[in-house]
Structure 1
């Protein structure tokens, strides 16, 4: 119906900070999209040439065309974002707030898999310990 709906839960409705590069990308996309608005009341970031929001199914279909052996959906971007935040050492509470989780077990159980970079970081820190 191309109508905005309510969020999944209380924690889903949130404000987050974005990098300047993210803001620049949004501005660029809005500049492109404004040419396609045809009486739409909402200002969506991603619209098609008809001025209606790009459907999630369209994005998923585009991701399926990528040359990869992995099953890629739009949710992979969420997982990747959380993994990067974890690698950067961002505190669990800050990650939870950013992604809208109310229960730390959700974040820990689903997203906090150890990445190769994190494993290497552990070794580097352990090597620096002087036990003599």
Structure 2
């Protein structure tokens, strides 16, 4: 008999201070900050990195999931991406990688994509065809058909972020977190967001969600107060 078989270890509950802290706000870009960042992304010379950054920011994919995408995983007509693998590159050497299952079983999912992503992908497809790049199964394959290294993508995001006036730590995951904040700001349910980004449980997702929605509630409260005050003054 295992004496700890039926034990239950409670998870630490998140405090309001944690959900509303300045540290949480640094995990993602505000809408105006994302707009500024993307204005510099549009000027970047490499179309693969430009498209990758847009794809992650507007789908919430993990960087490795995005790099691993193949043409068969993307349906531009139905506007959906099927995520079922990720890239594992132990030494971060170009072309030296293997495709593995995603981080968890819940990470295998299908994600609806916006027209913005659809158009960016179409532009990439046309660019590859026009430049007569080598045929590749990978959506983000370069002129030789090899997908980029996640580490290089991370460095690119950092370099572009350094051009902005935004005082936040730029790395690829800030794009994924920004997507979570955008969905929260749009009033999307937390469970739906979890499913979309492939999270079963995530303190980070919950922190961002609560932080964004608490700000929305404060703004709504202020508007209600102004409205009620106006009503009483009439």
Structure 2 residues without counterparts, runs of 5 or longer: 1-95
Match of 2:144 in 1: 50
Query: Which structure: greater strand fraction?
Result: 2
The structure whose RCO (Cα within 8 Å, separation 6+) is larger is: 2
- Of 121-130 and 75-84, the range deviating more from structure 2: 121-130
Query: Could you tell me how far apart the structure 2 residues matched to 1:62 and 1:104 are?
Result: 26
- Larger-gyration structure (1/2): 2
Match of 1:17 among 99, 107, 112: 112
TM-score, normalised by the number of residues in structure 2: 0.47
TM-score, normalised by the number of residues in structure 1: 0.77
Output one character per residue of 1:50-70: Cα deviation in whole Å (capped at 9) or x when no partner. 220011122122222232443
Q: CA RMSD in A?
A: 2.7
Match of 1:124 in 2: 223
Give matches, 1:1-132, under 5 Å.
1-34=96-129, 35-38=132-135, 40=136, 42=137, 44-66=138-160, 67-68=163-164, 69-103=167-201, 107-109=205-207, 111-115=208-212, 118=216, 119-129=218-228
Structure 1 residues without counterparts, runs of 5 or longer: none
Runs of 4+ more than 3 Å apart: 125-132
Contact 1:92–1:104 (8 Å) recurs in 2: no
| Number of aligned residues | 128
